[in-house]
Amino acid sequence: MGNLVVVGVDGSSSSLAAVDEAAREAKWRRAELRLVHAFNLPVRPMYAPPDPSPLRRLVAEAAQRARSLAPEVEVTEAVVSGDAVTVLEAESRAADLVVVGPRGSGGFLGMLLGSTAASLAAHSECPVMVVREEPAGTGPILLAVDGSPVGEKAVDFAFTEAGLRGAEIMAVHAWLPDYVPAGTGRESAERLLAQALAGRTARHPDVMVRHEVLSGETREVLIEASKTVQLMVLGARGRGGFAGLLLGSVSQALLNHAHCPVTVVRGKV
């Protein structure tokens, strides 16, 4: 399967956590790992361009970290001119997964999610994994199911990832009992969940799946559930989003507040 995992590197502690996770992903996928650092050239030509040597050292140190964690993985390094979102979005066209930290070295103190992570999750052409600095747990993979077309790709990604990690899937659909139309209810929610997962268990017989229909506001339910899982997987935009919206409110909330790494799926899987 996958041939390339890309990770954004900027020297921050969150990007080093992303390097660690990306190295593990490349090992599981038997893929190449590419470490990328993006830098902006000065706007005014009178200023001398930055010396790339410290940037190359930064990436080389991160690459050595990755090799120590996954010595069997081929690791390449790149220092590229351009803003981080544009550079990593271009990298995503050839990648199977892009991994970043939630907030880089340029973020404001107290900011939960940086502009690079949010924009990349909205525009990447492959799944984007946003990794927290805190060590991930060892529980199941939480798959957020909403029955949307984008969510179908998230289901496929979650089953593949569970097979790689040897993990169980906890497939969750959240609903609000007070706001469902007449003629619908818990049974309808359970049916939606079963239909979304139909056929996957046959293709992935070694992956155990637990169905969970939970009542409550979607963001609150999923944030609470993220406390006991090793990874959350969801589509970039669910059924409730406006046409043309690249990243839905639920996805944004989880990228900001989930207690585990979050993978947003919108492009190829």
pLDDT tens readout for residues 170-222: 999 988 776 555 545 678 888 889 999 988 988 999 999 999 999 889 899 99
Task: Report pLDDT for 243.
Answer: 37
From the list 80, 68, 6, the residue with the least C-alpha distance to 38 is 80
227: CB partners within 8 A, 6+ apart:
259, 260
Q: Is the pTM of this model over 0.85?
A: yes
* pLDDT category of residue 105 using cuts at 50, 70 and 90: very low
Q: What is the pLDDT of residue 117?
A: 85
Give residue-wise pLDDT tens across range 235-263: 986 544 433 345 678 888 899 889 999 99
Continuous H helices in 104-185:
115-123, 149-165
CA count, 13 A, side-chain hemisphere, 268: 9
| CA atoms of 259 and 136, how far apart (whole Å) | 8
Could you tell me if 213 and 189 are in contact, meaning their C-beta atoms sit under 8 angstroms apart? yes
